[in-house]
Amino acid sequence: MAINLLSNNNWMIMMMIPIWVFSCLALILVPIDASRAYPPLSSIADPVLPTEKKPPFSQIPTDRQAHSPGVSEIKVIQHEDLNKKILVALIIASTLLAGILLFLFCFWIFKQKHSQPLNTNKNPKTQDSSKGLSLGPILDKFTPRITGRKGSVTDIDYEWLISATNYFHEDNILRVETSGNVYKARFNDHFVAAVKKLHGPEPDAQKGFENEVDWLGKLKHQNIVNLLGYCVHDDTRFLVYEMMHQGSLDSQLHGPTHGTALTWHRRMKVALDIARGLEYLHERCNPPVIHRDLKSSNILLDSNFNAKISNFALATTELHAKNKVKLSGTSGYLAPEYLSEGKLTDKSDVYAFGVVLLELLIGRKPVEKMSPSLFQSIVTWAMPQLTDRSKLPNIVDPVIRDTMDLKHLYQVAAVAVLCVQPEPSYRPLITDVLHSFIPLVPIDLGGSLRA
């Protein structure tokens, strides 16, 4: 935009220069023509006495009148002087014009060489992406530790990870995931990150690692976790993420604190953040991306409880999902059509979102063990009560019970019921879900709810 504006201004200046030059030329010529200007109408005729008689117009002038001394010579000299002045003025004006045009052309070339290229990416996310963590300023401090790049993701030296995690000491374990342990890594006093040490060299683990690096190298959004770098050492792979100080949503809801840090408004903000992340994947990526493993343990919270979607090891495109894909994911979050028929669409993510929403609302895990051989799904248990307004307040998580407007509670319950419908076509688009949550979140948290 800056370059275009500069170019437009240059052309405007260039268009104005001829006007300025010819104006100057006119000023030069005006004094010259003034000597030849005709007198006023009142003084055309020479003053004569009333008694004098002027000869008629048809009268031929006498020899004395035709040969008045010095008249012709003066007129010739005046014409020669006028031509010389016009020529000099034209030369000066042309020289000035050429000099100014040359200067502007050189200035334009200089600006072209030193201007930054415009970012034409329409991705929100990346307008949304501009709000994410910028890796550049951080990695500039550790240039000797960077060994290469894979796409837009940095390959980090293994020795750097060893030092930052104190040889992956157990005291630095942040959380244990099915794919590997996540460690706190302190690179200096101002830079702390999370390092996931992936399990085993199995083909599935290798594929998941490559998928994660590939997707997070391309996806940039404020509600998608930032992958800062990766490392491969022998058969072990490492992923370096931005630090999410409040851990996962799963640990907040089902860990030692049992959700006490998550107020009603914070839970609605988490749901809104997840919806925004999914809306980016489904509606703004081309082709649309299906996360395929959305669950509370893959929702990470920063120090202000802003939620970001993580773990893209199983992510795929909607185009690829038209063919039956291998059944993958987590029990309790899998949509019925995907579980029974292998059909995967963006509505599969909407179903998983509905399950996470029930966790936020009720505070229970998606699948609970009732006996050694009996497991109960939160969807099966909650569905009859979600549609009964007299029973609904009683199944709400005790931590937030009676802290919300009942109208808002009914609205959230209705959204959850729609999201977990057995028939995919009955589930809403994530865009509609997103718009339904914005009025439920206070303005200072990113919604439109006024206190």
pLDDT computed for residue 122 by the predictor: 38
Q: Would you mind telling me the total number of residues written for the chain in this entry? A: 451
pLDDT computed for residue 451 by the predictor: 64
Q: Is 293 tagged catalytic?
A: yes
Show the CA angle centred on residue 346, arms to residues 175 and 424, nearest 5°: 115
Q: Which residues of the chain have pLDDT under 70?
A: 1-80, 112-152, 323-324, 451
Q: Is 64 exposed, middle or buried (0-12, 13-18, 19+ CB in 10 A)?
A: exposed
pTM of the model: 0.69
Query: What domains lie within the chain, and their CATH numbers?
Result: 129-242 (3.30.200.20), 249-445 (1.10.510.10)
Classify the phi-psi angles of 234: left when phi > 0, otherwise alpha if psi is within -120 to 50, otherwise beta.
Answer: left
Annotated active-site residue in 128, 273, 293, 346: 293
pLDDT computed for residue 150 by the predictor: 57
pLDDT computed for residue 24 by the predictor: 45
Q: Kindly report, residue by residue over 67-105, the tens digit of the pLDDT.
A: 445 444 555 556 667 777 788 888 888 888 888 988 888
pLDDT computed for residue 152 by the predictor: 66
